[in-house]
Structure 1
């Protein structure tokens, strides 16, 4: 199964991200071809609140008219003490056309586009460094 993306969504994503997701999907032995939604989870197995590491990232895609569209891309980080929990650090919501940053809140302007570009460029670089274990969830 190869994902055919709708590249006309509200936020531009690097072309390399499309290739990366198709590559990860190709690694799955048992693909569920009739899925209408996919959730990609990228985890650094050594990431912890104490030691740090690469933040977990989750991406949800849904199929519309034979094209896959991003619903959200979320970066999580440990927050709080004395018992840290994973919280949204960066959240790109394609449906509401907004981006969230833990330290600046929601944004829809030029700042959102710059944040998304930096976030995704870094994510792709970390993926290329092979720091993540990837899992894909299929929904019918």
Structure 2
């Protein structure tokens, strides 16, 4: 079974120096940094508006 909502749209690996954006492909690291900053800013704004329900699970 394929769950499209679980497919990665953004894949960032700072240690491997790559950024991948779905439907675009690989991005230069500088563009990836800008994308991450935008994503992070949006996430913080949405969290402040109680858009998300945050759940933390500890897996051993």
Higher helix share: 2
Gaps in structure 1 of 5+ consecutive residues: 1-82
Q: Distance in 1 between matches of 2:20 and 2:28?
A: 9
Q: Does 1:133 align with 2:53?
A: yes
Number of residue pairs aligned between Structure 1 and Structure 2 = 58
Deviation at 1:84, TM superposition (A): 6.6
RMSD: 2.2
Match of residue 18, structure 2, among 90, 94, 98: 98
Contact 2:17 2:29 in 1 (8 A): no
**Rg larger for:** 1
Q: Distance in 1 between matches of 2:4 and 2:24?
A: 19
Q: What TM-score, normalized to structure 2?
A: 0.72
- Name the CA shift for 1:139/1:94 in 2 (closer, same or farther; >3 Å): farther
Aligned partner of 1:115 in structure 2 is 35
> Which structure exhibits the higher relative contact order, with contacts defined as CA atoms closer than 8 Å and separated by 6 or more residues?
1
Higher strand share: 1
Gaps in structure 2 of 5+ consecutive residues: none
Deviation at 1:124, TM superposition (A): 0.8
Contact 1:98 1:107 in 2 (8 A): yes
- Name the CA shift for 1:137/1:95 in 2 (closer, same or farther; >3 Å): farther
